[in-house]
Amino acid sequence: MPESNSADLITELFRMDEPKRIAGLLMEMFFERKIFTYLADKDPGGSFSTGWLMGRHDGYDIALRECTAPLQDADKKFMEHLQRGSWEIVQFHFADQRFSALGDSPDWFRNCVNTANNILVSKTLTSGEKADQRLKDNRKVHGDFFSRMSEADIRHAWQSRTILNVLMKTGLIRLIKDIDAIAYNERRGLRVFEFKRKYPARGYYRFQEPAQFGRLPDIPAIRDISSELIKQAAFGLDRGHALTLEVCRELQIGYVYLILNSSETRPEHFFDESFRSRQSHELLYHSVELRDLVGYHSTDGKDSGSFNRNKRWQYMIDRKVFKEYALPAG
């Protein structure tokens, strides 16, 4: 398949996802480029990696890695922990706008790759009236910013979102989600990072029974929700991410929740087209345990850039447990 130019990739990306998800993608790139580098400088001597996905196939846990980048120590440690937990690991290439399964890939994943490539060729994700509207909306919201980005960054943005969306569309991998980053050093061990741009909720409903026996507490049915709102600042963690936290505990992997604390939603408020920070920002850091999930609250999917626009319940973590850092400008 011939290589597309930057303008073509921007158009495909804009047709694929709504503006709030594109904004989230840009924030993830800022995390990879600026924030993670800042943290690595404060804690030298380690290894970090991106590009991992998690999901389920036929009732089994799977982890997927796009393996164009060299294998890092963090990748090797992550794979060791996954194998001890009986996870299936599949690696693949994505180049020239095409998925390729590696030689030792299981048959089901080879079928998945074939289906994914058919989706790419047919442009299923970027055709139709909804895609036309997404393109129009994104050009209005993000067009100017993307016009100033480098070709390499545009290609990275398109590739990372295409991989996730197309594999999800195959229907062969359930509950698929990306991992923002993994890191390893001898002092802190292996950690998974979840990054969000958020500002705290003003309260939450407290769990009557906190997490027990290493399992997530159950969010009550709507009819059983407490009428008492604890008026204390807290940050939400979606159930999908809370399930990743639960998995990390089972696999003896740390889980770090990293928050750029701001009510501002426009990516260009935080960084320029080269992902240089425009000014200093408050960065919150906490290594989360299940016991930190002290309550629950709801959020609307349309307000969070979720695939699902319905009301979603989030697990809540007290604002006061987070450490504060000042992310410098530049």
Strands (E), the chain: 47-49, 52-57, 60-66, 88-95, 98-101, 174-178, 181-185, 189-198, 205-206, 234-238, 254-261, 281-287, 295-300, 311-318, 323-327
Q: Average pLDDT, stretch 64-85?
A: 94
Q: Average pLDDT, stretch 227-256?
A: 92
Q: Please tell me the distance from the alpha carbon of residue 105 to that of residue 114, in angstroms, as a whole number.
A: 13
The predicted structure's pLDDT at residue 110: 96
The predicted structure's pLDDT at residue 151: 96
Q: Answer yes or no: are the C-beta atoms of 191 and 131 closer than 8 Å.
A: no
Whole-number average pLDDT of the chain: 90
The predicted structure's pLDDT at residue 205: 87
The predicted structure's pLDDT at residue 220: 66
Res 233 pLDDT > 80: yes
The predicted structure's pLDDT at residue 312: 80
Q: 162-204 pLDDT, tens per residue?
A: 999 999 999 999 999 999 999 999 888 999 999 999 999 999 9
Q: 294-312 pLDDT, tens per residue?
A: 888 887 655 555 545 567 8
Among 21-35, 66-80, 186-200, 305-319, whose mean pLDDT is lowest?
Answer: 305-319
Domain range annotation of the chain: 6-178, 181-327
The predicted structure's pLDDT at residue 212: 58
Query: Above pLDDT 90, what percent of the chain?
Result: 75
Considering 1-5, 135-139, 182-186, the range whose residues carry the highest mean pLDDT is 135-139
Among 97-111, 223-237, 264-278, 294-308, whose mean pLDDT is lowest?
Answer: 294-308
The predicted structure's pLDDT at residue 209: 66
Res 213 pLDDT > 60: no
Among 27-41, 48-62, 126-140, 163-177, whose mean pLDDT is lowest?
Answer: 27-41
Q: Please tell me the distance from the alpha carbon of residue 323 to that of residue 328, in angstroms, as a whole number.
A: 16
Q: Average pLDDT, stretch 239-249?
A: 92
The predicted structure's pLDDT at residue 303: 53
Higher pLDDT, 219 or 78: 78
